[in-house]
Chain A
């Protein structure tokens, strides 16, 4: 088989072993690297639920994009949902991003991420503490979360339900003194309960590019240049649009809340969806589309 990427293995104490991993009380004995970690500097971990809403996907994409544009390496786990959105945002800017897997670094998992992982192995790096070819196992993913935390100086939690595996990454981050950042969400959204709770427990709330820049600087990350904040100008908002942007809603609930006729509401939502001002979620609710959260 013709391999397009480099394979390397570094043991503790050897040159090329990321020093930041030594903060862990049980650092990986060997790090298997598909690709290259040559110019690696600890960056920001952007993590979130696999079952993410367009809001979560949009936020992961937006904040990972801003961090990457400022020259910060984006570390994540290549999982469906927020993780992949973060990797993709960095790759779209041709910036470095590192995926940490719970299986061998040369194993394509999850299966939908094959193209992304292939790109990361040739352009950036995919790393794992498990030997080449190791199959994914449930226990391995909570173990790899500590590596995600250790490879970054700040951990940004975008969207996570309760309970969620994302919390184990945040716990590892706190245990080794990394900053925990969180994107707040609607108090009604189950997917935002995780970040909202982290904020209550003392995590830094991140709502725009300048707050992200401040948080990254205070975590000790050098920024090349601060990315410009792209604010979306939505112009005049109708009542229906305002309502679903504040909190995703179903047409029936919206009609009741605004005391409008159901046909009027369905038509307004359909027309807003066609012009990309709102999005229909998989659960039938209408809310903010990923494209506008993304800020592009």
Chain B
């Protein structure tokens, strides 16, 4: 007796369709799974056998062969438990084939027959939708999937429920969820120039590097960047939630439109940052997709780990090539870096004396590396605030009005063309629309100040965003004056 049930397996952030074929024939009782299963899939045999018995079904006293097709694709994870059980139940006529027709089933079985969620449920839902199938799985994992337009889910929380008639289900409709609270800029006292830089970074999607002694509020400020960025659009929500789902993390904030904020510790490995492992899992860069990747203590990160940032910063995705094949993860994020000015942290601090030699300082700052520094459009110096000012400071502007300005600026930039951080070369020059005197002035300055080609690009990009903030079609001298103060290099 044979039966087929559809399911899927994860590859990158995608779920690839897999057919579970079960064949129950007479012979010595045995249970074999073929089709490149990994260890977790092999263990399904014991879970399926116990779960079927505990739910009141008979496990066939016969030769059971389960094939996972296509046989050449590697299968990972525990999501195969449910489809294997369903295939055997159908093959032995214990359930009606109609129960699984036109649907993809994903779920892990407990020994008592209950169905448990697996990681990447959102990817399975999307894959099912793409193949025009419904999805069968535990209700707990499927509630977030109801955001996927037009996919019908059927909830199955225990194997025994199959005897109780049609499964309850629902069809996904995209719904706006209520906004969740986020850290607010009102908590940041003083730091007016840094707040301005943060607003420019949010408006133009620029990468930002903050340099300052410990306790100067670098992390405090960085955490408030997602709150002034525009909320995720519908397709962005799905992309970000998908990465979180595949990584086994909570996808509800992303589904609610909150931009991801990832702050990996500096001991993070290359695989932790870029993704990797077996089976490959997305790294911090992909988890920050459509959001902010915050790297505190930038020079303390491994140089090799930092270099992996370059491809995603350039292309918005990264490709991992492993023995098992090639996976592509989305990784389009705004990079915010923070670092101390020197190893002891107090170079230039008005209160504390720095104890580092000039040589140690240059070695420390050079650890970040030129290519990565080149991607930082905005560099700002932050300093500890005088406690008296902290107490006496007038209330700071909260995030909401800043966010409104950022939205308006982005709208203006969209009407003009692209975000300034995405522009370079001729497109950038034509977007800046410098008039003759400004252009001459800037060329003169770039020559006397020895700006590199990269520095010119960065200054112009930032100046373009500043002009966007003022809804100016062309970049004026005052915009350039402001932009140069955010570049690196000082006497």
Contacts and interface: CB of A to CB of B under 8 A. Distances in A.
B192 interface: yes
Interface stretch (A19-27, A125-133, A206-214, A267-275): A267-275
Interface stretch (A66-74, A86-94, A249-257): A249-257
A289 B491 CA distance: 8
A271 B481 contact: yes
A255 B192 contact: yes
Contacts of B382: 284
B169 to A, nearest CB: 56
Interface stretch (B121-129, B317-325, B346-354, B398-406): B346-354
A282 interface: yes
A251 B380 CA distance: 11
B383 A284 contact: yes
Given A270-B481, A270-B484, A161 B490 contact: no
A50 B2 CA distance: 83
B165 interface: no
Contact of A283 (B191, B193, B381): B381
Interface string B450-491: 000000000000000000000000000110111111000011
The residue among B190, B350, B448, B483 with the most chain A CB atoms within 10 A of its own CB is: B350
A54 B358 contact: no
Contacts of B491: 54, 57, 279-282, 289-290
Interface in B53-82: none
Contact of A281 (B348, B483, B485): B348
A265 B350 CA distance: 21
A244 to B, nearest CB: 13
A6 interface: no
Interface in B168-204: 190-193, 196
Interface residues of A, number: 35
The residue among A51, A263, A274, A280 with the most chain B CB atoms within 10 A of its own CB is: A274
A250 B380 CA distance: 11
B130 interface: no
B341 interface: yes
A268 B193 CA distance: 13
A251 B348 contact: no
Contact of A270 (B353, B389, B483): B483
Contacts of A270: 480-485
A284 B478 contact: no
A80 interface: yes
Nearest to B389: A256
A291 to B, nearest CB: 9
9 closest A-B pairs by CB: A283-B348, A284-B381, A270-B481, A271-B481, A262-B192, A270-B485, A54-B491, A280-B490, A279-B491
Interface of B: 190-193, 196, 211, 341, 347-350, 353-354, 357-359, 380-383, 389, 445, 448-449, 477-478, 480-485, 490-491
13 contacts: A50-B358, A250-B193, A251-B192, A262-B192, A263-B482, A269-B485, A270-B483, A273-B484, A283-B341, A283-B381, A283-B383, A284-B490, A290-B491
